[in-house]
Structure 1
């Protein structure tokens, strides 16, 4: 160099894409709803049984976080306890992290008189479409994913947060055979507390003469204790019911993350969820850090 500083080449206008990911749109037959589906698949060859799969609600807001966390941690399963897996984020055709449509998709019908008070005093968006949403997942989304990717249908996880966590619990208590791992972060049990309480009791009664093979992670942020929705308290009550069913094949865990609130809990919850759902030794095996 002749004493002059080399010019730095600056390239603008490009877009970053997480390796191994794709985005597609699907229109549901029931409800005629358009979904934006985010998929992350491992670059390596699948095992003979296929890859485990995580169905992730609110894909617009958390798909990137989970996909990158999995991409890094699954490089050394023997150290991290996270094996390669397919992630299917279920989102909506918007650039915003959340869509108001989620209120309908994640909730069951509820009389107006039983709805919780909106924190801003406004009217709630349309709600009560959870059955149609579950039908979309089971009858349309899962078959398409299993057609395009090698999936181990014996290792299916569903992950939801807030109202998504409520949806996860609704599925667990009424259709537990649909997934093997259920992860409900900061679940909005207060939205339909009576239903969850009654279904939890029925769930326990049904298991007197039957057995399951499911793992359940309930989690919340420590700061959520101060909120009037009492999310951690309600989650602990449900955990106490589920933990009594271990002999019937229900492995339940409750985690409360120090210093985290309703939204900030998501990254640390996702990291814990990956180890819970994807470690090769079972949901309660401990692994050293990298």
Structure 2
């Protein structure tokens, strides 16, 4: 042992400050070993980068090395200046729409500040994406967003607010209960307008949840899927995955393998 610890090959990390909020973000990037195609690399942006970036990067590195494997793509984790998997207060603010929850959280702790989703999405679109595209060759037509739990809520919120921001949306165990299930209440009207406007048929959505999660999480994910599935009739791909035997945290790793195929599987397979 040389005491240097383990380092993920072909990865880079940098800090980026959001001009609107003044908040700093730690950005993790996994770069494929193979050269970029003419249109640039497809790319997956992942929330909670401190928790899931390493697993995503290693899974992508392994599954894209074989000629019959996945197409090589960039993995970008959006995280915080912490050594812990989650920065609870920051993610609560970044991933949620404004609300005034009553009482305390289920664990008895007070609710953190909430309502920063609009500013966070603006940071991703107007500052992070341009910075990534300045550093790496990116295929703008093949961009994906992944989030889990409150991050899954943010993914669905982004789909409703700016559906053309990404081509692929992966919502893991989405916290659709947030703000008295405001997102579920919005979906029928959004679906109606999407039907009328014929949404871009390139949009692809995956909702995944563990079968052993709390019942309200499983039912919420199923409800969101049920409300969006009819959009397949006008070209939008909507997939639902129920992972047997998996709980709220353990579901992340089987979901990673499934989502990588969802985003990076070559079109001819």
**TM-score of the pair, normalised by structure 2:** 0.95
Contact 1:77 1:279 in 2 (8 A): no
Q: How does 1:146-185 map to 2 (within 5 A)?
A: 146-185=133-172
The yes-or-no answer on 1:106 pairing with 2:82 is no
What secondary structure, in the 3-state scheme, does the structure 2 residue paired with 1:245 have?
helix
- Distance in 2 of aligned mates of 1:35 and 1:138: 14
The yes-or-no answer on 1:280 pairing with 2:266 is yes
Residue 73 of structure 1 corresponds to which residue in structure 2? 63
What secondary structure, in the 3-state scheme, does the structure 2 residue paired with 1:223 have?
coil
Q: Which residue, out of 234, 250, 255, partners 1:269?
A: 255
Residue 41 of structure 1 corresponds to which residue in structure 2? 31
CA RMSD of aligned residues (A): 1.4
Q: 1:29-57 CA distances to partner (integer Å, 9 max, x unpaired)? A: 01110100000011221000110000000
- Distance in 2 of aligned mates of 1:25 and 1:247: 42
Q: Which residue, out of 77, 80, 92, partners 2:80?
A: 92
Structure 2 vs 1, CA of residues 190 and 150 (structure 1 numbering), >3 Å: closer, same or farther? Answer: same
Contact 2:195 2:231 in 1 (8 A): no
Give the Å deviation of 1:91: 0.2
What secondary structure, in the 3-state scheme, does the structure 2 residue paired with 1:83 have?
coil
- Structure 2 residues without counterparts, runs of 5 or longer: none
Give the Å deviation of 1:209: 2.4
The yes-or-no answer on 1:232 pairing with 2:232 is no
Structure 2 vs 1, CA of residues 157 and 77 (structure 1 numbering), >3 Å: closer, same or farther? Answer: farther
Residue 203 of structure 2 corresponds to which residue in structure 1? 214
Structure 2 vs 1, CA of residues 151 and 193 (structure 1 numbering), >3 Å: closer, same or farther? Answer: farther
Structure showing greater radius of gyration is: 1
Residue 30 of structure 1 corresponds to which residue in structure 2? 20
Q: 1:62-114 CA distances to partner (integer Å, 9 max, x unpaired)? A: 00000000000011252x4x21000110000000000021000000001234x
Residue 51 of structure 2 corresponds to which residue in structure 1? 61
Q: Which residue, out of 4, 11, 18, partners 1:21?
A: 11
- Distance in 1 of aligned mates of 2:186 and 2:6: 44
Q: 1:266-289 CA distances to partner (integer Å, 9 max, x unpaired)? A: 11110101001111128xx5xxxx
- Structure 1 residues without counterparts, runs of 5 or longer: 1-10, 286-290
**TM-score of the pair, normalised by structure 1:** 0.88
What secondary structure, in the 3-state scheme, does the structure 2 residue paired with 1:189 have?
coil
- Distance in 2 of aligned mates of 1:22 and 1:202: 42
Q: 1:162-208 CA distances to partner (integer Å, 9 max, x unpaired)? A: 10000000001221110000000011111135321232112211123
Compare 68-77 and 33-42 and name the one that shifted more. 68-77
